[in-house]
Chain A
């Protein structure tokens, strides 16, 4: 492999780490991200287990490095549409959507948001808040430059041709309605796939009452609910702005349906309990779990500390019922006893599943998916980051559920493999 160019798909914690190591080594990295910001799922978290570090503070320096590195070219709002060739000489086609805001001229002042007449559900906030047609996903998003949602912008979708409210508000001439979608062709020596995961859709499982009872949250909703830069600015309240007096956190949602344990839900569920207890020490919290899968070397200590403060219940089965605005968790304990508790809030911890575009991307790359839908890797050769095609590596949650350190290790490993081949 002589080509010193590498394509990295996905800019979560895994994709960023792989890009930085390769770029430091002098390789030219092309980093493709489908969203308008970098950082992936982890930038949604206020804190990360087991040390309860602030995730945004931890990641911001990495994100800045990615944005400023002279060997990294970033393609935002972009997807890989075609690939051909083989290791050492892949030809790649990228489709880049217009942002309509200049990454160079915009200084991120935010003056353009308010004047925009269009409000939309903010997907990044799991629909728990609204944003304008010109907006950043959340305060602190990097790059700190808004993007215009072309489907909903009145000017771009043709509903009100003359709207230029944002353009007028911008003192930097950063808005450019003439920007066009682009197609970019590249030649790269290797490809790293770091497209991450999505959350199992819990609305299909009626027994948990999600969608029916407003105070039943998914894990990702809860992450945003307690984030300082989230829709409530970190204020921990129920939907009707009542303080939380009790909460039930249910593990393993979708484990049976999916046929695998996601390996991180036990720990993040406990992180939630830890957090609620910290903010509302009086709150009564119950963790409903099956097996406790807490394999990290500091994880059991976290559990032991927490179990002094909250109740852990090993369940056989469990359901959530609504009762005049209150919630009731009805369960069978592992000792066979049936019981129930009342709870203000229920948090569901769903399985991690392959990210939405996995199937299409697998086709584009000419590689297959395993029985669970993640990209297939050469496990039988004890080589979990090698796809079946030489020169294509799979890292992070694109390979299967895992936590941040394991995602980072795989990212560094993929970089190691590529640099080793080039020695």
Chain B
């Protein structure tokens, strides 16, 4: 193909001509071999400018285009689109930034002009070696695999299921509901027994678009957004070991949390001292409507001890303050004479309605005691003594029963699933979000999302909200009939150069590279690769090539700029 390059210099109003002698630029560039035309335009990004560019590309029958203007961050996409509309391959385009990097940087006009000329020439040399890359489109499966059948997994399934979308919901235990299913009252709806979780479970079971697998594990997941394959293994009595392969377009992890093991720290006396119970055991007492000591008597005094495991784990679990307030209310409402003491470090009541539960508990006579730390919980006659320190002074309370609120920790299978799906964990061992601030339910694996306590401690409304968020992300990317467009500027590995050392596997943040044991080489999955280039630099044999940043393209560009 005969290469015909067009170079367009945008004035950007007065911005560029004030510092760059455009006539000189045109003169210098015109003499370059493959350059068919060099033109200037006042504001190329305006509607008139784009129309001019399109018509000129067509008229001059250009094969390659270089635009010298502002930052590619501003208008690279704009001009690539114009090239495409003019019938060109949009990747045979190069943008050169002569505004931010020349006109706005260098006060001396001559110097700025000469730098701009070098840059544009470098761009021309680079674009000559561009490959006509093609945007691929892949068919998609819109079904979703949800792992974990707690309230988060339930809510995600209900929100995602539809006439054109099947959901596979896999739960490890023999029933749905998770922790929420064990609670008899749920804050902030204090007072009435919540039917909500039960109702939701029924809705799941009656929904013909949701397939529930209880007593099952996910053994394998492979693939990428729109095209995952997973193996679900049953542990049910009569189906034990039976494996089923399913195909889905996205995966939601909703594997929840577990409780910090109180036996890890002997100061709590948990498991040793009678009537020292965990929050979960107390929830069960509420459920059976029997708040009793081991001897069958009703407690006259109860201490609610917050923050067990907070120091050890290094984070505050956010919901314990709230549910211990729930316990305090329950005790005061059901055993009117009981003396309730809450021993807390900080009251963490971050939601707008939380503080009023605290104020109401105070009104009911609950005593709130600030402490720095529990020193020891021990038996003393019929009573249990909780010794604590506050402001460096030792003190204690003496009660019939102690309820301990343990930290919420990552569920058992978290690290195994992270390995299976190539996902990072955070410092606390929970799944890590793609971006803690702006992408709180996504992961580096496109098409894999996380919701609820699998991400860290949170309450039920927050967990449900996040499940709707995963549903928002999935419903806007996996639309029946639409195709997904993977990144074009990806990397590829040259089989004959790859030694199979697998260095690249460890640097790829997105898990796009796998090792092919039969051929003895590593392979990039183009549908997953984002073209970040990390692997290119890591390969000791120089076997990896980034398709739009090839060694040769960069060499040509740099050589020309340095000439």
Residues on A facing B (Cβ under 8 Å): 13, 17, 21-22, 24-26, 48, 50-51, 53, 58-59, 62, 104-105, 107, 109, 111, 171-172, 259-264, 291-301, 304, 333-335, 370, 372, 374, 379-385, 400-402, 404-406, 408-417, 419-420, 423
Contacts and interface: CB of A to CB of B under 8 A. Distances in A.
A6 B351 CA distance: 28
Interface in B409-468: 426-428, 430, 433, 436-441, 455-457, 460-462, 464-468
Interface string B149-181: 000000000011011110000000000000000
B231 interface: no
B468 A297 contact: no
B472 interface: yes
A404 B438 contact: yes
B314 A419 contact: no
Contacts of A401: 350, 352
A38 B164 CA distance: 36
A110 to B, nearest CB: 11
A405 B437 contact: yes
Interface residues of B, number: 70
Nearest to A20: B476
A260 B164 CA distance: 44
B315 A409 contact: no
B435 to A, nearest CB: 8
Contact of A107 (B43, B165, B189): B43
Contact of A423 (B162, B346, B348, B439): B162
Nearest to A25: B476
A359 B189 CA distance: 26
B347 interface: yes
Given A405-B440, A409-B469, A298 B315 contact: yes
B135 interface: no
A382 B186 contact: yes
B391 interface: yes
Nearest to B410: A297
A295 B461 contact: no
A300 B310 contact: yes
Contact of B314 (A50, A304, A406): A304
Interface stretch (B9-17, B112-120, B522-530): B9-17
A315 B88 CA distance: 69
Contacts of A291: 346-349
A380 B189 contact: yes
A309 to B, nearest CB: 18
B461 A384 contact: yes
Contacts of B352: 260, 370, 372, 374, 400-401
Nearest to B353: A379
A54 B391 CA distance: 37
A415 B472 contact: yes
A291 B316 CA distance: 12
A222 to B, nearest CB: 20
A54 B186 CA distance: 38
A384 B459 CA distance: 12
Nearest to B474: A416
Contacts of B318: 295
Nearest to B311: A300
Given A295-B350, A299-B315, 5 more contacts: A17-B438, A291-B349, A295-B317, A300-B310, A412-B469
B262 to A, nearest CB: 19
B315 A62 contact: no
A112 B315 CA distance: 52
18 contacts: A107-B12, A261-B347, A262-B350, A298-B426, A298-B427, A299-B315, A372-B352, A401-B350, A404-B438, A409-B441, A409-B462, A409-B466, A412-B468, A413-B465, A415-B472, A416-B472, A419-B471, A423-B475
A420 B475 contact: yes
A126 to B, nearest CB: 23
B559 interface: no
B356 interface: yes
Contact of A416 (B162, B349, B456, B475): B475
Contacts of B186: 382
Nearest to B74: A64
A338 to B, nearest CB: 14
B353 A416 contact: no
A294 B348 contact: yes
Contacts of A296: 315, 456
B379 interface: no
A260 B355 contact: yes
Task: For the complex of A and B, list the 5 residue pairs with the smallest distance between their C-beta atoms, beginning with the closest.
Answer: A263-B350, A416-B472, A423-B162, A412-B469, A413-B468
A335 to B, nearest CB: 4
B502 interface: no
Interface in B25-52: 43, 46-47
B485 interface: no
Given A293-B346, A298-B426, A21 B351 contact: no
B13 A107 contact: yes
Contact of A58 (B310, B350, B438): B438
Contacts of A172: 13, 43
Contacts of B441: 409, 412
Contacts of A292: 346, 348
A200 to B, nearest CB: 13
Contacts of B426: 297-298
Nearest to A51: B436
Contacts of B163: 423
A281 B377 CA distance: 42
B437 A53 contact: yes
A71 to B, nearest CB: 11
B535 to A, nearest CB: 24
B196 interface: yes
A423 B162 CA distance: 6
A24 B348 contact: no
B178 to A, nearest CB: 14
A383 B464 contact: yes
A146 B270 CA distance: 65
B274 interface: no
Contacts of A51: 436-437
B470 to A, nearest CB: 7
Contacts of B346: 291-294
B271 interface: no
Interface centre among A17, A384, A385, by most chain B C-beta atoms within 10 angstroms, is A384
Contacts of A411: 469
B316 A263 contact: no
A151 to B, nearest CB: 29
A382 B195 CA distance: 12
B241 interface: no
A68 to B, nearest CB: 8
Given A300-B310, A380-B188, A295 B471 contact: no
A416 B468 contact: yes
A65 to B, nearest CB: 11
- The interface centre, meaning the residue of B346, B352, B441, B455 with most chain A CB atoms within 10 A of its CB, is B352
A412 B472 contact: yes
Contact of A260 (B354, B427, B461): B354
A166 to B, nearest CB: 15
Nearest to A174: B13
B286 interface: no
A26 B479 contact: yes
Nearest to B478: A25
Contacts of A382: 186, 189, 196, 460-461, 464
Contacts of B351: 263, 400
B370 interface: yes
B383 interface: no
Contact of B476 (A62, A294, A404, A419): A419
B184 interface: no
Nearest to A400: B352
Nearest to B350: A263
Contacts of B457: 295, 297
B461 A294 contact: no
B189 A408 contact: no
Contacts of B314: 300-301, 304
Given A26-B479, A406-B462, A171 B13 contact: yes
